[in-house]
A = this chain, B = another copy of it.
Amino acid sequence: MNELQELRRRARDIADLNGIGGLLLWDQNTMMPPGGAGARADQFEALERILHDQLTDPGLGRVLDALEPWAASEDPDSDDVRLVAVLRRDHEKAVRVPTELAAAMSLAAAHAQQAWLEAREKNDYGHFAPSLERILELQHRYIACFDGTGEFAHPYDVLLDDYEPGLTTAEVTSLFSVLQEELVPLVSAAAAAGEDGRVFPGHYPIEGQQAFAEALLGAVGYDPEHWRLDPSVHPFARSLAHTDVRLTTRWEPDDLAMSFYSCLHEFGHGLYEAQMSPSHYRTTLADAAGLGTHESQSRLWENLIGRSKPFCEWVLPVLRKHLGGHFDAQEPSDLYRAINQVRLSLIRIEADETTYNLHIALRFELELALVEGRLSVADLPDAWNEATHRLLGLDTPSIGEGVLQDIHWGAGMIGYFPTYTIGNLMAAQLWQGLRADVPDVDDAITAGDFAPLREWLRDNIHRHGRKFDSRELLRRATGEELSVEPFLAYLEGKLLDAGLLTAPARVPRS
């Protein structure tokens, strides 16, 4: 099979360039001197152009065509057959997009990211608006590349599909309709039952937070031989290969929750990358099924595990050891209640898991309106503030706490936000599946033994890489289709358990 060897060779180059792109991105957000931003944008553009040329190469199309009869006769779940399918999809999408447009999108995103950083510092939306205009203009040109394919029912579907293959505007609209309907009263009831004030009152020296994070990450499965942790404005995870995984967090002396839960969150992303099957290394299968699945992994560690009662029992002595003070007088039940408080707040990445999806609903609503042309870039801050008031009942005192709080739009990522909610829903379903399969999960967590959890996730999700899409992975792991009920039932159950709801607030959906 010379064709298969050629396909693997092509996949290897693409995978290596993606790994290199991961380094460019990681460095840009952690290490790069500010004055290097212009050159970095050029480097991204060059890399993007080369990657695009490789994906669109007619030779790739020919080798895919030549392999089609063979693939049809083989086990459809074998690695090689899936590699053919995945590369065909990438090739067919890429050939519709001119190289120059792909490069322009990459360049515009790099410039806009820098403008976003500067606009945040200056508290000046006007400094960012022209970059966002440019991003949107290019997104429209990108969408237009798929005119007439019949593949997408809505312009925004084109964007969604890049982050979560097959996800549609209609589905997302319907999911958010149910979630908003259920979450607004749940949030309202739980927020009224809780206390005011910060989750972790007090001041936590950064050295103590770092020692705690090291103990926390070490216990869940961070491996210093293969991982790094660095500070960045916006925490993120990026792997350059399954053997080189980089997490970032933000250290704030007055906000322990930021580093604590962002470390767990990014660990979940990192573990997905680290536990992909080594047999997929240097192929285009060594990638996530979709961003929904990726987010389900981060949310699982941050919330389903990290905010559970057994986790509180394990982590409280660790907190006491490294951060003392406040935690010395706490019982696990106090911690459990504190970290599950429902609090209406402005910042998505600081939001509790109950309100979180309302933040996403807001962003989905606004970016859909931008894409549909119902909202202008100039009117975006007002629309943001209005939606914040409508969904969360809050005023927005500054653009840093409002429209400029997230990097995504500045990074050219429109259609990305809904995958966070898909991830939350999947996480609840996977958690049900994991609990059904792994005996004594709670005891293992209480004992700080996270190996059985990592193994279940490796076997059911991580190792597959991009062989199956998110829905297929969910089906194989749980036997279920994507649904909102497990997530809502989980939320309500925990709020009741933690004493944050006095009585059931909702009727289970069938």
Q: Write the residues of chain A forming the contact surface with B, with a CB cutoff of 8 angstroms.
A: 12-13, 16-17, 19-20, 23-24, 27, 31-36, 38-40, 42-43, 45-47, 49-50, 223-228, 240-241, 243-245, 281-282
A141 nearest CB across to chain B (Å): 22
Is the Cβ of B46 less than 8 Å from the Cβ of A17? yes
A225 nearest CB across to chain B (Å): 4
Is the Cβ of A244 less than 8 Å from the Cβ of B36? yes
Bound CA span A223–B34, Å: 11
Is the Cβ of B16 less than 8 Å from the Cβ of A46? yes
The 3 closest A-B pairs by CB, nearest first: A36-B244, A39-B241, A16-B46
Is the Cβ of A35 less than 8 Å from the Cβ of B226? yes
Is the Cβ of B33 less than 8 Å from the Cβ of A19? no
Judged by DSSP, the binding face of A is helix
Contact pick for A27, options B23, B39, B40, B223, CB 8 Å: B23
Is the Cβ of A50 less than 8 Å from the Cβ of B13? yes
Q: Which residues of B contact A243 (CB under 8 A)?
A: 35-36, 38-39
Q: Which residues of B contact A226 (CB under 8 A)?
A: 33, 35-36
A-B contact pairs, 26 of them (CB 8 A): A13-B50, A16-B45, A16-B47, A17-B46, A17-B50, A19-B39, A19-B42, A19-B43, A20-B20, A20-B24, A20-B47, A23-B23, A33-B224, A33-B228, A33-B244, A33-B245, A34-B225, A35-B226, A36-B226, A36-B241, A38-B243, A39-B240, A39-B243, A39-B244, A40-B244, A50-B50
Given the known interface contacts A12-B46, A42-B16, A42-B282, the answer about A31 and B32 at a Cβ–Cβ threshold of 8 Å is no
In the complex, the chain B residue whose C-beta lies closest to that of A45 is B16
Q: Which residues of B contact A34 (CB under 8 A)?
A: 225
A56 nearest CB across to chain B (Å): 16
Is the Cβ of B240 less than 8 Å from the Cβ of A35? no
Is the Cβ of B240 less than 8 Å from the Cβ of A43? yes
Bound CA span A24–B24, Å: 9
In the complex, the chain B residue whose C-beta lies closest to that of A21 is B20
Q: Which residues of B contact A244 (CB under 8 A)?
A: 32-33, 35-36, 39-40
Bound CA span A249–B43, Å: 26
Q: Which residues of B contact A282 (CB under 8 A)?
A: 42
Q: A17-B46, A20-B47, A33-B244 are in contact. List 17 more A-B contacts (CB 8 A).
A: A13-B49, A16-B43, A16-B45, A17-B50, A19-B39, A19-B43, A20-B43, A23-B23, A23-B24, A36-B244, A39-B240, A39-B244, A39-B281, A40-B244, A43-B240, A43-B241, A50-B50
- Kindly name the residue among A35, A40, A245 whose own CB sees the greatest number of chain B CB atoms within 10 A: A35
Q: Which residues of B contact A24 (CB under 8 A)?
A: 20, 23
Q: Which residues of B contact A43 (CB under 8 A)?
A: 16, 19-20, 23, 240-241
Q: Which residues of B contact A224 (CB under 8 A)?
A: 33
Bound CA span A149–B20, Å: 36
- Kindly name the residue among A24, A31, A224 whose own CB sees the greatest number of chain B CB atoms within 10 A: A31
Q: Which residues of B contact A245 (CB under 8 A)?
A: 33
Bound CA span A282–B241, Å: 28
Q: Which residues of B contact A31 (CB under 8 A)?
A: 31, 228
